[in-house]
Protein backbone atom coordinates (compact mmCIF):
# COMPACT_ATOMS: atom_id res chain seq x y z
CA UNK A 1 0.00 0.00 0.00
CA UNK A 2 1.38 3.41 -0.92
CA UNK A 3 1.45 6.49 1.24
CA UNK A 4 -0.05 9.79 0.17
CA UNK A 5 3.45 11.10 -0.59
CA UNK A 6 4.23 8.16 -2.87
CA UNK A 7 0.99 8.50 -4.83
CA UNK A 8 1.49 12.26 -5.20
CA UNK A 9 5.04 11.77 -6.47
CA UNK A 10 4.18 9.00 -8.92
CA UNK A 11 0.56 9.11 -10.05
CA UNK A 12 -0.48 5.81 -11.59
CA UNK A 13 -4.08 6.48 -12.56
CA UNK A 14 -6.50 9.37 -12.69
CA UNK A 15 -10.17 9.25 -11.75
CA UNK A 16 -11.05 8.22 -15.31
CA UNK A 17 -8.92 5.06 -15.41
CA UNK A 18 -6.06 6.63 -17.35
CA UNK A 19 -2.65 5.27 -16.38
CA UNK A 20 0.85 5.28 -17.88
CA UNK A 21 0.24 2.04 -19.81
CA UNK A 22 -2.91 3.47 -21.39
CA UNK A 23 -1.09 6.67 -22.29
CA UNK A 24 1.65 4.73 -24.07
CA UNK A 25 -0.90 2.61 -25.94
CA UNK A 26 -2.85 5.70 -27.04
CA UNK A 27 0.23 7.68 -28.09
CA UNK A 28 1.70 4.81 -30.12
CA UNK A 29 -1.61 4.06 -31.87
CA UNK A 30 -2.29 7.74 -32.52
CA UNK A 31 1.09 8.38 -34.11
CA UNK A 32 0.71 5.24 -36.23
CA UNK A 33 -2.42 6.90 -37.65
CA UNK A 34 -0.70 10.28 -37.95
CA UNK A 35 2.15 8.85 -40.01
CA UNK A 36 -0.35 7.40 -42.51
CA UNK A 37 -2.51 10.51 -42.74
CA UNK A 38 -2.37 12.54 -45.97
CA UNK A 39 -2.90 15.91 -44.28
CA UNK A 40 -0.93 15.90 -41.04
CA UNK A 41 1.44 13.00 -41.73
CA UNK A 42 3.81 15.08 -43.89
CA UNK A 43 4.02 17.84 -41.27
CA UNK A 44 5.37 15.29 -38.78
CA UNK A 45 7.44 13.22 -41.23
CA UNK A 46 9.31 16.29 -42.46
CA UNK A 47 10.38 17.12 -38.91
CA UNK A 48 10.79 13.79 -37.12
CA UNK A 49 13.35 11.30 -38.36
CA UNK A 50 13.68 9.20 -35.19
CA UNK A 51 10.19 8.57 -33.84
CA UNK A 52 11.01 6.86 -30.54
CA UNK A 53 12.37 9.99 -28.78
CA UNK A 54 9.31 11.91 -29.96
CA UNK A 55 7.00 9.19 -28.64
CA UNK A 56 8.81 9.18 -25.30
CA UNK A 57 8.33 12.94 -25.09
CA UNK A 58 4.62 12.53 -25.91
CA UNK A 59 4.25 9.87 -23.18
CA UNK A 60 5.66 12.42 -20.73
CA UNK A 61 3.44 15.19 -22.13
CA UNK A 62 0.22 13.18 -21.83
CA UNK A 63 1.27 11.90 -18.40
CA UNK A 64 1.64 15.50 -17.27
CA UNK A 65 -1.64 16.56 -18.86
CA UNK A 66 -3.78 13.65 -17.65
CA UNK A 67 -2.05 12.44 -14.48
CA UNK A 68 -0.43 15.71 -13.36
CA UNK A 69 2.86 13.82 -13.15
CA UNK A 70 5.08 16.75 -14.06
CA UNK A 71 7.14 14.52 -16.36
CA UNK A 72 7.01 16.83 -19.38
CA UNK A 73 9.49 19.68 -19.42
CA UNK A 74 9.12 20.96 -22.99
CA UNK A 75 7.56 24.02 -24.59
CA UNK A 76 4.83 22.86 -26.97
CA UNK A 77 4.05 26.37 -28.23
CA UNK A 78 7.62 26.87 -29.40
CA UNK A 79 7.47 23.55 -31.28
CA UNK A 80 4.21 24.46 -33.04
CA UNK A 81 4.36 28.24 -33.56
CA UNK A 82 6.10 28.20 -36.94
CA UNK A 83 4.55 25.07 -38.44
CA UNK A 84 2.79 25.46 -41.83
CA UNK A 85 -0.62 24.53 -40.37
CA UNK A 86 -4.06 26.00 -39.79
CA UNK A 87 -7.49 24.97 -38.51
CA UNK A 88 -7.67 22.10 -41.02
CA UNK A 89 -4.62 20.48 -39.44
CA UNK A 90 -5.89 20.98 -35.90
CA UNK A 91 -9.27 19.51 -36.87
CA UNK A 92 -7.63 16.48 -38.42
CA UNK A 93 -5.37 16.02 -35.38
CA UNK A 94 -8.43 16.11 -33.12
CA UNK A 95 -10.33 13.71 -35.35
CA UNK A 96 -7.53 11.15 -35.42
CA UNK A 97 -6.92 11.51 -31.71
CA UNK A 98 -10.61 11.12 -30.89
CA UNK A 99 -10.90 8.03 -33.10
CA UNK A 100 -7.83 6.54 -31.42
CA UNK A 101 -8.94 7.04 -27.82
CA UNK A 102 -12.51 5.94 -28.52
CA UNK A 103 -11.17 2.72 -30.07
CA UNK A 104 -8.75 1.96 -27.21
CA UNK A 105 -10.10 3.43 -23.98
CA UNK A 106 -13.13 3.04 -21.75
CA UNK A 107 -15.63 5.87 -22.34
CA UNK A 108 -14.67 7.94 -19.27
CA UNK A 109 -10.98 7.81 -20.16
CA UNK A 110 -11.68 8.59 -23.82
CA UNK A 111 -13.81 11.59 -22.80
CA UNK A 112 -11.04 12.87 -20.51
CA UNK A 113 -8.42 12.52 -23.27
CA UNK A 114 -10.68 14.24 -25.83
CA UNK A 115 -11.49 17.10 -23.47
CA UNK A 116 -7.81 17.77 -22.85
CA UNK A 117 -6.97 17.39 -26.54
CA UNK A 118 -9.54 20.05 -27.47
CA UNK A 119 -8.10 22.45 -24.90
CA UNK A 120 -4.57 21.81 -26.13
CA UNK A 121 -5.54 22.25 -29.79
CA UNK A 122 -7.39 25.50 -29.07
CA UNK A 123 -4.39 26.88 -27.19
CA UNK A 124 -1.91 25.86 -29.88
CA UNK A 125 -4.13 27.18 -32.68
CA UNK A 126 -4.35 30.51 -30.89
CA UNK A 127 -0.57 30.59 -30.46
CA UNK A 128 0.10 29.72 -34.10
CA UNK A 129 -2.36 32.44 -35.15
CA UNK A 130 -0.64 35.01 -32.95
CA UNK A 131 2.75 34.05 -34.38
CA UNK A 132 1.18 34.56 -37.83
CA UNK A 133 0.02 38.05 -36.81
CA UNK A 134 -3.64 37.08 -36.40
CA UNK A 135 -5.61 37.84 -33.26
CA UNK A 136 -8.43 35.31 -33.13
CA UNK A 137 -11.67 36.27 -31.44
CA UNK A 138 -13.73 33.77 -29.47
CA UNK A 139 -14.97 31.10 -31.86
CA UNK A 140 -12.77 32.32 -34.73
CA UNK A 141 -10.44 29.81 -36.38
CA UNK A 142 -7.00 30.12 -37.92
CA UNK A 143 -7.15 30.26 -41.71
CA UNK A 144 -4.02 30.67 -43.78
CA UNK A 145 -3.54 30.76 -47.52
CA UNK A 146 -2.77 27.38 -49.05
CA UNK A 147 0.61 28.57 -50.35
CA UNK A 148 1.99 28.86 -46.77
CA UNK A 149 0.53 25.55 -45.61
CA UNK A 150 1.71 22.01 -45.85
CA UNK A 151 -1.16 20.38 -47.73
CA UNK A 152 -1.43 17.20 -49.75
CA UNK A 153 -1.43 17.63 -53.50
CA UNK A 154 -4.89 18.40 -54.87
CA UNK A 155 -6.24 19.98 -51.67
Q: Say yes or no to pLDDT of 9 above 50.
A: no
Residues 6+ apart with CB under 8 A from 79: none
Q: What is the pLDDT of residues 66-122, one digit of tens each?
A: 999 999 999 988 888 888 899 999 999 999 999 999 999 999 999 999 999 999 999
Helix axes 51-67, 107-131, angle to 10 degrees: 110
Q: How confident is the model at residue 150 (pLDDT cuts 50, 70, 90)?
A: low
For residues 11 and 69, the answer to whether their CB atoms sit within 8 Å is: yes
Whether pLDDT at 10 is above 50: no
Greatest mean pLDDT among 7-16, 28-37, 128-137 lies in 28-37
Q: What is the pTM of this model?
A: 0.83
Q: Choose between 152 and 106: higher pLDDT.
A: 106
Contacts of 8 (CB under 8 A, 6+ apart): none
Of residues 97, 96, 90, the one with CA closest to residue 113? 97
Q: What is the pLDDT of residue 136?
A: 83
Place 12 in a pLDDT band, splitting at 50, 70 and 90: low
Mean pLDDT to the nearest integer, 120-127: 93
Residue of 32, 19, 93, 91 whose CA lies nearest to 62: 19
Amino acid sequence: MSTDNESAAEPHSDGHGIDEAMIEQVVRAFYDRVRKDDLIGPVFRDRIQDWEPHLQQMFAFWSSVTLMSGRYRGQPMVKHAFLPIDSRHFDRWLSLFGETVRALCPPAAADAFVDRAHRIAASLELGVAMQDGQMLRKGQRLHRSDDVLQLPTGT
